[in-house]
Amino acid sequence: MLLADNSPTPKNYKALLKRGINCIYVKPKQKVNQVFITESHNEIRKYAIRHGYDYILHLETDIIPPVDIIERLLLGQKQVISALYFVDEGPYSHLMVQELEPTELQYQHTRNVQAPFDILKCTGKVEQVYACGLGCILIHKNVFERIPFRWLTGSPTHADTAFALDLKLAGIPQWVDMSIICQHRNMSWALHDNVQVDFKD
């Protein structure tokens, strides 16, 4: 396991190291969140390449998957396969699954499938989608060795948007196991810069 910590200061990173957790620190200061989050993704990717891993299970820290998530995603036998999770809160909550606007091929114009129609996506099967989040995704080395994470400059989107675009351009389908729903400890992005967890001895 490798944890990429992008907390506002290295305090949490140092506490994690003391507990024997394999961890790196990505400085977020003077960067928009798309940049330092993408840098965190790429540090994990470079670590996997350096150590010769066959897969990355890319798991964001606010996503709580089932304990057998690796085995279940491997059963899909896909190069890129995700589990489901919801974004936003209350009546605005919807699946993190993106669809392409029918009249526009530029990726900046994708949107998440909106509630209440998103529940129709929960078929219990492995389904091909245009895009999904990087919150809980299994990526084969044939993909992560070729495609780095990036974000689209000037766009409010994040690395999952650019990753899905690069997959599409490379002709690599993206899949979701619609039988796996993870808990998402969702919160407002407006609070992001003020959040820090303190580890106490």
Report which residue type is found at 45. R
pLDDT of 116 = 56
d(CA 28, CA 36): 5
pTM across the whole model: 0.83
Largest CA distance in the chain: 56
pLDDT of 120 = 67
Average pLDDT of each block of 10 consecutive residues along the chain (201 residues)? 93 95 92 90 97 96 93 96 82 68 46 61 83 92 96 82 89 92 72 43 41
CB 25 within 8 A of CB 31: no
The superfamily (CATH) of domain 55-188 is Spore Coat Polysaccharide Biosynthesis Protein SpsA; Chain A (3.90.550.10)
What residue spans define the domains of the chain? 55-188
CB 96 within 8 A of CB 157: no
Contacts for 15 with CB less than 8 Å, ≥ 6 apart:
198, 199
pLDDT of 94 = 64
pLDDT of 23 = 95
pLDDT of 102 = 43
